[in-house]
Structure 1
Amino acid sequence: MNTRRNDRHADRVTGPVIERRGQVHEGSTTDQRLLDSRGRTDWVHTDPWRVLRIQAEFVEGFGALAETGPAIAVFGSARTPVDHPFYGIGEEVGRKLVEAGFAVITGGGPGAMEAANKGACEAGGASLGLGIELPFESGLNQWVDKGINFRYFFARKTMFVKYSQGFVVLPGGLGTLDELFEALTLVQTRKVTSFPIVLIGTSYWAGLFDWLRQTVLAEGKINAADLDMMVLTDDVDEAVSLMVAAREDRWPTPEPERPE
Structure 2
Amino acid sequence: MKKILHLSFFILFAAAYSQNISNYEYVSIAAKTGKFESAKYGLSGILSSKLKAGKYEVVSESNDSWPEAAKNNPCGVLKAEIEDTSTFLKNKIQVNFKDCSGKTVASFEGKSNIKEYEPGFKDALNVALRNLPASNPEKLAVITETPKQPVAIATEPVKSTSNQTPNSGAKTENKAETFSNGTLNLNRIFISDSQFILASPNNSTPYAIFKATTKKEVYRVQLQDGSQTLGYIEHGNIVIELPNADGSYRKEIFEETVIMAY
Pairwise TM-score range, normalised by the shorter structure: under 0.3
Instruction: Name the structure where strand makes up a greater proportion of residues.
Output: 2
TM-score (norm 1): 0.25
Instruction: Name the structure where helix makes up a greater proportion of residues.
Output: 1
